Amino acid sequence: MAGVAQMKDLAMTADLSTHAELMRVAHALADAARPATLAYFRASELEAEDKGVIAFDPVTIADRNAEQAMRAVLAAERPKDAILGEEFGYHVGTSGLTWVLDPIDGTRGYISGTPTWGVLISVADESGPLFGIIDQPYIGERFAGGFGVAEVTGPMGHARLQCRTNRRLADATIMTTFPEVGDALEGRAFHAVAGQAKLTRYGMDCYAYALVAAGQVDLVIEAGLNAYDIQAPIAVITAAGGIVTDWNGGPAHEGGRVLAAANRDIHAEALAILQSIANG
């Protein structure tokens, strides 16, 4: 029995060591992305290339430079891990872990000069994100969650992240990035939920998810997301006591239709409305 207990202690120590290492690398990635994004933020001559097929979907040199900076860190620190990045796609790994990177989530806001874009970083296994960071370089705020950590650091110091509890939908603040949300049916489903909330706000991109974790916002509802848009927010919100699913109540780490909620009760209220419309 003593041998079994000793083996469990060794395994726990190894896990803690691995967790600490992954968190260290995640923060190193965020540190590398900050100067790459800030170098062009609010620059008068910044050009944006449109990579959209239907709607305007800008990409800038800052997006590409930030992702390259993060990939360089991973090449040095975690060469066996896979990488999924918005700008440079998938790099195969052998460790079973994947770093999911969005160098600038909210490029439309970035090129407009608003400080609500962010750098999204997560590390995931086959089950989904394990640890994530939402970093806002201009404000200097960093939201981190996973491995028992739920914290924000920034101009106001360091604080624990905690989602709101015991908030009814009728008293809720709800956010999404685009008023149309997705297609016509998805937009109708969102507005049905928003119509029962106290306050609806738009255009915050990943910063809205950070505000859920910080206890400022109750719901974020979006559609048409990619894995790199949502994996870091899932890790941060879950660590802060919230819940993130798709519109069927299942895993959301592959993207698509996403419902992020501060607690299970308000999640259930919103989910019922979304399902009643979006699923016919």
Q: How confident is the model at residue 53 (pLDDT cuts 50, 70, 90)?
A: low
Q: Give, for 28, the enclosing helix (H) or strand (E).
A: helix 2-38
Tens of pLDDT, residue by residue over 76-97, are 999 999 999 999 999 999 999 9
User: Could you tell me the CATH number of the domain that includes residue 250?
Assistant: 3.40.190.80
3-state secondary structure of 135: strand
What is the pLDDT averaged over residues 211-237? 98
User: Could you tell me the CATH number of the domain that includes residue 114?
Assistant: 3.30.540.10
Q: Pick from 128, 159, 190: which residue ends a domain?
A: 159
Q: How many folded domains does the chain comprise?
A: 2
User: Alpha helix (H) ranges present in the chain?
Assistant: 2-38, 61-77, 107-112, 184-194, 206-213, 227-239, 264-278
Q: Do 140 and 197 belong to one domain?
A: no
What is the pLDDT averaged over residues 166-173? 94
Amino acid, single-letter form, for residue 125? D
Q: Do 243 and 222 belong to one domain?
A: yes
What is the pLDDT averaged over residues 144-161? 98
Tens of pLDDT, residue by residue over 200-210, are 999 999 999 99
